[in-house]
Chain A
Amino acid sequence: MKNVQVSIDGRQTKQKGVLHKGVDVPFEMVGTVSAAPEGKIRMHPSKFRVGHLPVKGLLDFFGVQTDDLVNGKHMHGVRVDHEDLILDPVLPAPESRGKLTGVNILSDGLEESFGSTGASAPAARGNHIAYRGGTIRFGKLIMTNSDMKLIDSNPRDAFDFSLDHYKEQIVAGYNRTTPAWGLEVFMPDYYQLQKAKAQPHPPASGTESAKGSGKR
Chain B
Amino acid sequence: MRPNIQIHRVNLHIDDQIVLSVKDLSGKLIPLKPGEPPSVGEKYTFVIAVESADIVVTAQNLTLLLNRYAPTPNHR
* Residues of A in contact with B (beta carbons under 8 Å apart): 1-8, 13, 15, 73-78, 87-88, 90-98, 106, 108-118, 120, 124-138, 142, 146, 148, 150, 152, 158-167, 190
Please determine whether A124 and B6 come into contact, CB atoms closer than 8 angstroms: yes
CB < 8 Å neighbour of A136 from B29, B62, B63, B68: B29
* Residues of B in contact with A (beta carbons under 8 Å apart): 1-16, 18, 20-21, 24-29, 36-63, 65-74, 76
Beyond the given pairs A98-B48, A132-B3, 17 more chain A to chain B contacts, judged by CB atoms under 8 angstroms and listed by A's residue number, are A4-B70, A6-B63, A6-B66, A92-B69, A93-B44, A94-B47, A95-B48, A108-B59, A109-B57, A120-B24, A125-B8, A130-B5, A134-B4, A158-B9, A161-B11, A163-B41, A166-B40
CB < 8 Å neighbour of B50 from A93, A115, A136: A115
Please determine whether B53 and A114 come into contact, CB atoms closer than 8 angstroms: yes
8 tightest A-B CB contacts, nearest first: A98-B50, A134-B3, A77-B71, A115-B52, A162-B13, A109-B58, A137-B39, A78-B71
Contacts of B43 in A (CB 8 A): 93-94, 163
Q: How distant is B67 from chain A, measured CB to nearest CB, in Å?
A: 5
- Minimum CB distance partner of A16 in chain B: B63
Report how far A78 CA is from B69 CA in the complex, Å: 12
Contacts of A128 in B (CB 8 A): 6-8, 10
For the A-B complex, the count of residue pairs with Cβ-Cβ distances under 8 Å equals 210
Please determine whether B8 and A138 come into contact, CB atoms closer than 8 angstroms: no
Q: How distant is A144 from chain B, measured CB to nearest CB, in Å?
A: 9
Query: If A93-B44, A164-B15 touch, does A2 touch B59 (CB 8 Å cutoff)?
Result: no
Q: How distant is A33 from chain B, measured CB to nearest CB, in Å?
A: 10
Q: How distant is B10 from chain A, measured CB to nearest CB, in Å?
A: 4
Please determine whether A130 and B38 come into contact, CB atoms closer than 8 angstroms: no
Please determine whether A133 and B63 come into contact, CB atoms closer than 8 angstroms: no
Contacts of A97 in B (CB 8 A): 47-50
Please determine whether A76 and B14 come into contact, CB atoms closer than 8 angstroms: no
Q: How distant is B75 from chain A, measured CB to nearest CB, in Å?
A: 10
Q: How distant is A133 from chain B, measured CB to nearest CB, in Å?
A: 5
